[in-house]
């Protein structure tokens, strides 16, 4: 029997395992140190590595932030963590913190975004994902040379293609076009096969 005060936590869980996980996520605060470590990790260990895809980083950041805010709200009403919950729930704080933890390799993009007025989190999120997807190397298609985008001297995008392999001239006989009969007769045996051999027909 589930107490009515927590029924809203487990009612939407599809399985018992998910219900237990929901309860653990909500009430797993055995001492203040646990929450302090959670907060410290958020502000010191959320920096994005260059090897992490932008979408994965943003999703992980949003999920961690959502859990942290909820943990802070679950404290007593007069607990200082309630102020932190309100602080982190502020969309402007959320936006600037996301930009702050992006890698140095895209510092110029971050500076450009921060220079804009009336910033909105959703706009910044969309813009970051667009920029990330536009820098991906083109996927090579079947029977076509690899195409890679890069920046030219004037800053414009240029495309480099690997040269196609040199085609064999039609005058050069393809490997395997040898007449076994002519070869056995010590006659010129290249450029044709025994099925089309005129000398064999005239023999």
Per-residue pLDDT of the chain (203 residues; tens, 9 = 90+): 455 655 666 677 777 667 666 656 665 555 677 888 888 888 888 888 888 899 999 999 999 999 999 989 988 899 999 999 999 999 999 999 999 999 988 899 899 888 888 889 999 999 999 988 886 433 334 444 433 344 455 555 555 555 554 444 444 444 457 777 677 778 887 777 765 777 766 76
Residue 53 lies in a domain: yes
Residue 201 lies in a domain: yes
Regarding whether 181 and 107 lie in a shared domain, the answer is no
> Which segments of the chain are extended strands (E)?
147-151, 157-161
Residue 158 lies in a domain: no
Residue 111: strand pairing partners: none
Rounded Cα distance between 175 and 187, Å, is 18
Residue 89 lies in a domain: yes
Domain boundary among 86, 105, 134: 134
Rounded Cα distance between 79 and 76, Å, is 5
Stretch (H or E) spanning 82: helix 81-89
Of the candidates 84, 82, 39, 81, the residue with the CA atom closest to the CA atom of residue 64: 39
Question: How many domains, the chain?
Answer: 2
Residue 148 lies in a domain: no
Regarding whether 190 and 130 lie in a shared domain, the answer is no
Terminal CA-to-CA distance of the chain, rounded, Å?
100
Q: Is residue 200 a contact partner of residue 179, using CB atoms and an 8 Å limit? A: yes
Domain that holds residue 193: 174-203
Q: Can you give the pTM of this predicted structure?
A: 0.52
Residue that the structure tokens 């690997």 belong to: 162
Regarding whether 100 and 186 lie in a shared domain, the answer is no
Q: What's the DSSP call for residue 196?
A: G
Domain boundary among 104, 134, 164: 134
């Amino acid at each position: 029997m589930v107490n009515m005060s927590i029924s809203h936590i487990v009612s939407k869980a599809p399985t018992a395992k998910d219900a237990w996980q929901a309860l653990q996520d909500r009430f797993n605060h055995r001492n203040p140190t646990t929450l302090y470590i959670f907060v410290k990790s958020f502000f010191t260990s959320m920096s994005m590595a260059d090897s992490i895809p932008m979408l994965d980083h943003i999703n992980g950041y949003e999920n961690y932030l959502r859990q942290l805010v909820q943990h802070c709200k679950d404290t007593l009403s007069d607990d200082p963590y309630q102020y932190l919950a309100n602080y982190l729930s502020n969309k402007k704080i959320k936006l600037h913190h996301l930009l702050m933890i992006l890698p140095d390799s895209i510092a110029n993009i971050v500076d450009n975004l921060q220079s804009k007025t009336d910033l909105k989190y959703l706009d910044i999120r969309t813009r970051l994902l667009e920029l990330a997807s536009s820098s991906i190397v083109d996927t090579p298609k079947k029977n076509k040379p690899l195409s890679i985008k890069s920046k030219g001297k004037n800053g414009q995008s240029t495309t480099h293609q690997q040269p196609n392999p040199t085609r064999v001239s039609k005058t050069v006989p393809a490997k395997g076009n040898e007449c076994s009969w002519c070869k056995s007769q010590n006659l010129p045996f290249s450029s044709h096969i025994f099925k089309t051999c005129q000398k064999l027909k005239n023999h």
